């Protein structure tokens, strides 16, 4: 039986049974669905319900639980009104949790161990101190009376020497055990520190929390079961990838993982974890397109009256600005859901927890990408088609080439069947140079007049590595959209591709560059325009 928030929640405790028995219980988190922002938490409660009406008080919900998103489902009882309570709550007690009880016992045992180890140090120190005191006393003994004879002095001296030696030997013998005893104290103290840390991690008695009060009715006394689902805002997840590229027998291995974090105020221990790309806290409906009024006006007439200019321009500006503020409808594809196959612990308020999902292996096309206009070295580019049948979500990717970490990047959505390119760092052995050998007054490599500019450039790629590389060399020339502005260019050799990716004037050459080889491309262009005009 499922109950949704509505009138029952609005009425709260006032709708519950008067003077009903109160059952105070804790809950156990069994499942969590994490969204890019926020999470839905499922808790389960087992309790014994008396016959008739009673109040069930669950005392361990996080303080930021959103009441309007609570849902309940029960077996063994009939549910009535329910509400959140932040005051008049009983003290939170962790003593019934077996893990907490065990942690407390471990702390007590460790404290006893520290005391015992310290007692050992104290006993050794006392023995050393007693022996030293005995030796010090014997040194101060002097012969008096009848003992002041040659034989008496000799006998007393021999006795004192023997006793001092024995006392010193006893002190040294006792002191030999002191380092081991002190080490035992250090070890015991470390065990105590670890046990206290474990206990603190388990105990949530000091954390902020709220209570959920539920009116329940049972026909007969017996065991009942309640499932509570609620939403917390301080949780998130994001994809993360390790992209591993090998050039021999080209292969791109993508290890998919996720980073999960939560600051709900409690730990999620041994939960069923689901990751969803749904965004319940984001825009859920399309934007509105408003009417856009446009007008024309005579600028000469408009300039005659400042008041008119201000009034009319204000009227014109308002709908234009309003239209600019309104964004396009948010477009989302199908919701992607990952069900993690094992139970997961996600501690609250700590660093991101990284979980591995799976690996995808793709066959890339690998090239050395050369842009001598801006770079001094070529870069490895891997182009691939996502034929895995799995979507790659936006996220951070760590890049490894031949097993070596070469950098990190961010990737966008790569749907099944989509093509994508990823850069895998510089190739230090492929050097680039862009020279402009033409010399004249003014800039090196440029001849200019009042109506014409001529530029000559030599693009050079040199392979200093011990292996051959397929190279894609990219450069460009200016382009014009005016008939009176004429632009022409020559390239030797001719480019393999023009207007790369629809970008006018961008040129590309593709060729194989063997080990130790050098390749040069001559690229010239001329810009001409009418007398009296200026070039921008």
277 within a domain of the structure (yes/no): no
For range 282-292, the mean pLDDT: 76
45 within a domain of the structure (yes/no): yes
We report the CATH number of the domain holding residue 59 as 2.60.120
**Residue 465's pLDDT is what?**
94
| pLDDT greater than 70 at residue 112 | yes
Cβ contact 505:477 at 8 Å: yes
Q: Do residues 196 and 214 share a domain?
A: no
Q: Do residues 198 and 212 share a domain?
A: no
| Structural domain ending residue among the three candidates 426, 454, 488 | 426
297 within a domain of the structure (yes/no): no
Residue appearing with tokens 């005995």: 134
221, with CB counted inside 10 A (0-12, 13-18, 19+), is exposed
Buried b (16+ CB within 10 A) or exposed e, 381-398: bbebebebebbbbebebb
Q: Parallel, antiparallel, or unpaired for β 268-276 and 28-34?
A: parallel
Q: Do residues 162 and 138 share a domain?
A: yes
| pLDDT greater than 90 at residue 382 | yes
Q: Do residues 245 and 194 share a domain?
A: no
Query: Which residues have a Cβ under 8 Å from the Cβ of 299 and sit 6 or more positions away?
Result: none
Find the radius of gyration of the CA atoms of the chain.
Answer: 41
**Chain-centroid distance, C-alpha 266:** 19
pTM: 0.64
Beta-ladder partners of 49: 222
294 within a domain of the structure (yes/no): no
| pLDDT greater than 80 at residue 235 | yes
75, with CB counted inside 10 A (0-12, 13-18, 19+), is exposed
Q: Do residues 136 and 261 share a domain?
A: no
Cis bond leading into 217, ω under 30°? no
Contacts by residues 124-127 (CB-CB < 8 Å, ≥ 24 positions apart) = 124/174, 124/175, 124/177, 124/178, 124/181, 125/178, 127/170, 127/171, 127/174
Query: Which residues have a Cβ under 8 Å from the Cβ of 76 and sit 6 or more positions away?
Result: 49, 218, 222, 223, 224, 225
Confidence of residue 288 (pLDDT cuts 50, 70, 90): confident
Cβ contact 260:273 at 8 Å: yes
Q: Do residues 121 and 198 share a domain?
A: yes
Domain of residue 411: give its range.
Answer: 238-267+347-426
Q: Do residues 124 and 189 share a domain?
A: yes
What letter would DSSP give residue 414? B
Cβ contact 245:402 at 8 Å: yes
503, with CB counted inside 10 A (0-12, 13-18, 19+), is exposed
DSSP 3-state of 299: helix
514 within a domain of the structure (yes/no): yes
Tokens of residue 93, six digits: 């007690």
**Residue 153's pLDDT is what?**
62
Greatest mean pLDDT among 66-70, 171-175, 216-220, 304-308 lies in 216-220
| pLDDT greater than 70 at residue 444 | no
Cβ contact 470:461 at 8 Å: no
Q: Do residues 196 and 209 share a domain?
A: no
Percent of the chain with pLDDT over 70: 77
| Structural domain ending residue among the three candidates 405, 426, 447 | 426
342 within a domain of the structure (yes/no): no
For range 212-233, the mean pLDDT: 92
Q: Provide the mean pLDDT of the chain.
A: 80
Q: What is the pLDDT of residues 25-56, one digit of tens each?
A: 889 999 999 999 999 999 999 999 999 999 99
Q: What is the pLDDT of residues 130-147, one digit of tens each?
A: 777 777 776 776 666 655
Tokens of residue 255, six digits: 């290890």
For range 173-180, the mean pLDDT: 78
What letter would DSSP give residue 416? T
Cβ contact 43:71 at 8 Å: no
For range 103-119, the mean pLDDT: 82
Confidence of residue 154 (pLDDT cuts 50, 70, 90): low
Query: Which of 271-275, 278-282, 331-335, 490-494 comes out lowest in average pLDDT?
Result: 331-335
Structural domains counted in the chain: 4
Helix-, strand-, coil-residue percentages of the chain, each rounded to 5: 25, 40, 35
Tokens of residue 281, six digits: 């806290």
Q: Do residues 252 and 361 share a domain?
A: yes
48 within a domain of the structure (yes/no): yes
Q: Do residues 245 and 351 share a domain?
A: yes
What letter would DSSP give residue 494? P
| Structural domain ending residue among the three candidates 217, 233, 249 | 233
Greatest mean pLDDT among 100-109, 204-213, 434-443 lies in 100-109
Q: Do residues 105 and 197 share a domain?
A: yes
| pLDDT greater than 60 at residue 57 | yes
Tokens of residue 115, six digits: 């005391």
| pLDDT greater than 70 at residue 530 | yes
Q: What is the pLDDT of residues 387-414, one digit of tens each?
A: 998 889 999 999 999 999 999 999 999 9
Tokens of residue 431, six digits: 């050097």
Quote the CA–CA distance of 476 and 521 in Å, as a whole number. 12
75 within a domain of the structure (yes/no): yes
228, with CB counted inside 10 A (0-12, 13-18, 19+), is buried
> Between residues 124 and 244, which one has the greater pLDDT?
244
Q: Do residues 443 and 456 share a domain?
A: yes
Q: What is the pLDDT of residues 310-358, one digit of tens each?
A: 443 333 333 222 322 222 222 234 678 889 989 999 988 877 889 998 8
């Amino acid at each position: 039986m499922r109950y949704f928030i509505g009138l029952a929640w609005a009425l709260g405790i006032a709708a519950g049974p008067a003077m009903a028995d109160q059952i105070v219980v804790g809950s156990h988190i069994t499942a969590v669905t994490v969204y890019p922002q926020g999470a839905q938490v499922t808790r389960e409660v087992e309790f014994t319900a008396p016959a008739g009406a009673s109040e069930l008080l669950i005392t361990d919900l996080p303080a930021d639980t959103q009441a309007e998103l609570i849902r309940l489902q029960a077996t063994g009882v009939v549910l009535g009104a329910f509400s959140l309570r932040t005051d008049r709550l009983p003290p939170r007690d962790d003593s019934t949790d077996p893990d907490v009880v065990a942690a407390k016992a471990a702390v007590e045992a460790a404290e006893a161990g520290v005391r015992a180890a310290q007692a050992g140090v104290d006993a050794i120190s006392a023995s050393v101190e007693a022996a030293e005191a005995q030796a010090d006393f014997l040194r101060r003994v002097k012969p008096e009376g009848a003992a002041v004879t040659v034989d008496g002095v000799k006998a007393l001296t021999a006795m004192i020497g023997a006793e001092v030696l024995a006392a010193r030997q006893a002190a040294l013998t006792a002191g030999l055990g002191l380092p081991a005893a002190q080490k035992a104290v250090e070890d015991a103290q470390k065990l105590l520190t670890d046990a206290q840390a474990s206990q603190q991690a388990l105990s949530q008695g000091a954390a902020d929390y709220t209570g959920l009060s539920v009116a329940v009715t049972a026909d007969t006394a017996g065991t009942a079961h309640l499932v509570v689902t609620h939403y917390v805002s301080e949780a998130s997840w994001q994809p993360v990838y390790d992209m591993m590229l090998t050039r021999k027998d080209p292969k791109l291995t993508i290890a998919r993982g996720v980073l999960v974090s939560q600051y709900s105020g409690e730990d999620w221990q041994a939960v069923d974890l689901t990751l969803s790309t749904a965004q319940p806290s984001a825009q859920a409906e399309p934007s509105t397109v408003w009417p856009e009024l446009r007008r024309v006006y005579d600028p000469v007439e408009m300039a005659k009256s400042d008041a008119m200019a201000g009034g009319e321009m204000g009227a014109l500006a308002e709908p234009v600005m309003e239209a600019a503020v309104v964004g396009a409808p948010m477009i989302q594809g199908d919701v992607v859901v990952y069900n993690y196959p094992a139970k997961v612990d996600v501690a609250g308020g700590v660093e991101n927890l990284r979980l591995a999902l799976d690996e995808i292996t793709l066959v890339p096309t690998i090239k050395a990408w050369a842009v001598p206009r801006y770079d001094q070295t070529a870069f490895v580019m891997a182009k691939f088609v996502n034929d895995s049948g799995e979507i790659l979500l936006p996220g951070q990717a760590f890049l490894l080439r031949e097993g070596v970490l070469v950098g990190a990047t961010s990737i966008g959505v790569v749907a099944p069947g989509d093509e994508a390119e990823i850069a895998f760092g510089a190739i230090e052995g492929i050097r680039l140079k862009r020279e402009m050998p033409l010399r004249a007054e003014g800039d090196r490599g440029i001849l200019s007049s009042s109506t014409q500019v001529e530029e000559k450039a030599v693009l050079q790629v040199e392979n200093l590595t011990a292996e051959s590389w397929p190279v894609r060399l990219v450069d460009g020339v200016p382009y014009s959209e005016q008939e009176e502005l004429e632009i022409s260019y020559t390239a030797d050799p001719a480019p393999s591709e023009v207007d790369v990716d629809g970008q006018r004037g961008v040129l590309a050459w593709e060729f194989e560059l063997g080990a130790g080889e050098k390749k040069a491309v001559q690229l010239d262009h001329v810009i001409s325009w009418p007398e009296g005009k200026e070039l921008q």
